[in-house]
Amino acid sequence: KMNSVETEALIRTFLSTNNSATQLLPNDILISSRGSFKAGLISYPQPTTIASSSVYIIRLTDLSFFPEFLAIYLNSERVQQYLDDESSGVVIRSLLKKTIEGIRIPLIPLYKQKQLVNLAQNTRALENLLTKKAFMIQTITNNTFLTL
């Protein structure tokens, strides 16, 4: 799924305490605080899944936004450029919490947000199909030369 985090693939650990501030909930959005600043939606976290210190948790309290829309917006070229411009560090770029808090999110109607989410999902599906097609063409070409 586009802009989502596959929680099944996360490393498992057992903790004796539970820090509710870092425990992930459905529809939380994670954004990396170091390196590349990609955002991902947590749809259905496993119980007691916690976030590492290298990500910020964005937990929506305003029902004016779909979490999927916000994750897509945070990964948009416009926001990624802003985050890159505001980040610090030479070798490994890092973000301050105030930079994340400074992101201006356009308030658009929920039905338009849903349309944008659908468009982004369809675009990603098309990109995946084109990648598979290119791979199949390359495989056919390679196999053709094997038979010569």
pLDDT grade for 9, boundaries at 50, 70 and 90 = low
Instruction: Determine the longest span between alpha carbons in the chain, in angstroms.
Output: 64
Q: In what order do the strands lie in the sheet with 39-42?
A: 39-42, 28-32, 55-58
Q: Are 113 and 71 in contact (CB under 8 A)?
A: no
Tens-digit pLDDT profile for residues 32-81: 988 889 999 998 777 778 888 889 999 998 889 999 999 999 999 999 99
Report the chain's mean pLDDT, rounded to a whole number: 87
CA distance 85 to 97: 14
CA distance 59 to 67: 9
Beta partners for 55? Answer: 32
